[in-house]
Amino acid sequence: MKFATKRTSHPDGELILVSRDLCTTVSVGDIAATLQEALNNWDSCAPELQVRYDALNAGRLKNTQSLGELILDAPLPRAWQWLDGSCFMNHGHLMQKAFHLDPIEDADKYPLMYQGAGDNFSGPKDDIVVANAAHGADFEGEFAVITDRVPMGSTPQQALQAIRLVVMLNDISYRALAPREMKTGFGFVQAKGATAFAPIAVTPDELGCHWQNARVHLNMVIHRDGKKFGTPHGAEMHFGFDELIAHAVLTRSLHPGTVVGSGTVSNEDPSVGQACIAELRAKEMIANGAPSTLFLQHGEVVTLKATDDAGNSLFGEIRQHVVVENQHV
């Protein structure tokens, strides 16, 4: 199934089903008013949602709307918990080499993960609002999953069964603020902006062969101001989402609606580019001794989408304008 959330005056919006071709939608308010409600009651809601989804794709429903007519929010506009990993080892290796950092001990055995702000996700067309140009605003293309309840101590196999939806996101980072917070060992607060999500959340079965080993086998296609910035592939995750979730539930359970991110998609092949500015700057530092690419500037446009081999977009597009509130400091 494919879901989206129509933006309304309610902070959780209105849940809708989206046809497989991303053209047509139908309301499901009589089954579940919001995506969080559907997740809370997945076992009872999912069969009814599946019946309506099948009818939508077969063209048997009358009260449908075009997806393009709607203003969409993040599929899950606010979440119980937002846990972001850093599972693409190439990204970490480049940062360590560029900044002459010691390798993180056992990073290949234990996932890196921090807890972010899940209370106010951005929609796919919301602006990237930057308080100050000096903060070094950056985008990060990532995949993520949304879980059902996951009991404490669940194994990766059990965690895999609790994955309900797969999503794509743009995790905003402020690179000038991150180093000080990283040194404290307490994680990010100021260095992270509002995370934006592509409009469509999909059940893993919708991805077909593009969902393997709890990883998203799709290209992340990123443009910055109309120029291709990167097309890295999601298959190179060192830890699968099942392992990430199992790591998170070692000492606590997770509620339905927990979002778990992959970290910046990154590939060893340099020809595919990158999914964040910091990685390109790291490559420049390694090659030339200093970075030359600027972080996000006022008025720029960033677009992200995930495509299959035929070029089809599976989650819809994130398209955001950069608005710097204080451009002269």
Question: Domain range for residue 289?
Answer: 82-324
Q: Which tens digits make up the pLDDT trace of 302-326?
A: 999 999 988 899 999 999 999 998 7
Domain-terminating residue out of 16, 39, 69: 69
Residues 57 and 92 in one domain: no
Q: Where residue 125 sits, what CATH number does that domain have?
A: 3.90.850.10
Q: Are residues 65 and 88 in the same domain?
A: no
Per the domain annotation, does 241 fall within a domain? Answer: yes
138-160 b/e with 16+ CB inside 10 Å = b? Answer: bbbbbbbbbbbebeeebebeebb
pLDDT score at 62 = 92
- Reported as type and span, the H/E element at residue 84 is strand 82-85
| Chosen domain end from 30, 46, 69 | 69
**Euclidean distance between CA atoms 305 and 319, whole angstroms:** 9
Flag whether 77 is in a domain: no
Last residue of a domain, one of 47, 69, 91: 69
Same domain, 252 and 119: yes
- pLDDT tens digits for 13-23? 999 999 999 99
Per residue in 62-99, pLDDT (tens digit) is 999 999 999 999 999 999 999 999 999 888 888 887 77
Enter the DSSP assignment of 194: P
Residue 329 has pLDDT above 80, yes or no: no
113 and 254 in a single domain? The answer is yes
For the chain, percent of residues with pLDDT exceeding 90 = 84
Tens-digit pLDDT profile for residues 114-149: 999 999 899 999 999 999 999 999 999 999 999 999
Same domain, yes or no: 12 and 90: no
Could you tell me where the DSSP H helices lie in the chain?
35-40, 42-57, 89-99, 156-161, 178-184, 241-248, 277-288
Contact 224, 151 (CB under 8 A): no
100 domain-assigned:
yes
Query: Is the residue at 201 inside a domain?
Result: yes
Clarify whether residues 282 and 186 are in a common domain. yes
What is the pTM (predicted TM-score) of this model? 0.95
Please state the domain count of the chain. Answer: 2
Tell whether 93 and 65 lie within a shared domain. no
Confirm whether 220 is domain-assigned. Answer: yes
24: nearest Cα among 60, 55, 68, 81: 68
pLDDT > 60? residue 206: yes
pLDDT score recorded for residue 327: 67
Q: 96 and 65 in one domain?
A: no
Q: Within a domain: residue 90?
A: yes
Residue 76 included in any domain: no
Cα(278)–Cα(321) distance, rounded to whole angstroms?
A: 19
Do 43 and 179 have their domain in common? Answer: no
Residue appearing with tokens 């086998």: 217
d(CA 294, CA 84): 25
Distance between CA atoms of 173 and 188, rounded to whole angstroms?
9
**Domain membership flag for residue 122:** yes
The mean of the pLDDT values for the chain is: 94
- Residue 191, C-beta contacts closer than 8 angstroms, at least 6 positions apart: 173, 174, 175, 177, 178, 181, 182
